[in-house]
Structure 1
């Protein structure tokens, strides 16, 4: 790897991180507002988080595939990887709620707000290096 390709790789990563953050902020601000409204009306934090998680994940797949990672690989393989990453992210979110709300007694509103950030960082890493990672052939421009 020469210096120019290293700089391009860093720029690409920062562009992806910025795009991922922008998409994430838009979807999560709306999702969190719905979370607060629904938990206020029905007082069911884990059920509400579950429903909203999968709505946000679905929107995130198409937005991040197209705009963040500009991925044009096979959608089936990518979709399965994305699903695995999202299930792991969901379980991480659920464990954080169980641990900090149910066991330690923290307010669910604060725990969920922090969990959004923790899960977002986890999912960016998973998306960058697992879900939307290019094969060696794709990165060299060779059709796979």
Structure 2
């Protein structure tokens, strides 16, 4: 449990820094007329790129193959993106809730989902993902 707690704390710090900046950018983009879903989509791509290195090296201390890990990382974010987009569609477009609140809550929901995906799949350290002899792809 100690290892998982440390990973969660490091992941949380990376996420807080990243999502804080990205949420402010989201609010700025939507305040100048960019649609909520377009703003979320643009910033989602930025978030994936900026957090991969920190989560791989620092949060999870993963030394597996770079390319294969990045593919799984992108796939996990694609899942998170789909959930986030569906929530905006349902809760904002259909139910009329304020997009600022929905997106703020979704940051937390997606963060929890992504931690689980990264812990259990992307950066797992079992025999199916070798870490003893890292390869750089």
Identify the TM-score tier after normalising by the shorter chain.
Answer: over 0.9
Contact 1:137 1:143 in 2 (8 A): no
Query: In 2, Cα distance between the equivalents of 1:11 and 1:88?
Result: 28
Which protein has the bigger helix share? 1
User: What is the total number of aligned residue pairs between the two structures?
Assistant: 134
The yes-or-no answer on 1:28 pairing with 2:19 is yes
Which runs of 5 or more structure 1 residues have no equivalent in the other structure? Answer: 1-9
What is the TM-score normalised by the length of structure 2? Answer: 0.92
Aligned position for 1:74:
65
Alignment deviations for residues 109-132 of structure 1 (CA, whole Å, 9 cap, x no partner): 000000000000000000000000
Aligned position for 1:127:
118
The yes-or-no answer on 1:57 pairing with 2:37 is no
Which runs of 5 or more structure 2 residues have no equivalent in the other structure? Answer: none
Q: Kindly tell me: are residues 72 and 142 of structure 1, through their superposed partners in 2, closer, same or farther at Cα, counting changes over 3 Å?
A: closer
Q: Does the residue aligned with 2:97 lie in a helix, a strand or coil?
A: coil
Q: Does the residue aligned with 1:42 lie in a helix, a strand or coil?
A: coil
Query: In 2, Cα distance between the equivalents of 1:126 and 1:79?
Result: 13
Q: Kindly tell me: are residues 138 and 105 of structure 1, through their superposed partners in 2, closer, same or farther at Cα, counting changes over 3 Å?
A: closer
Query: In 2, Cα distance between the equivalents of 1:106 and 1:82?
Result: 30
RMSD, aligned α-carbons: 1.6
- TM-aligned CA deviation for residue 101 of structure 1: 0.1
Q: Pick from 96, 104, 110: which aligns with 1:113?
A: 104
Question: Which one has the largest radius of gyration?
Answer: 1
What is the TM-score normalised by the length of structure 1? Answer: 0.88
- TM-aligned CA deviation for residue 99 of structure 1: 0.6
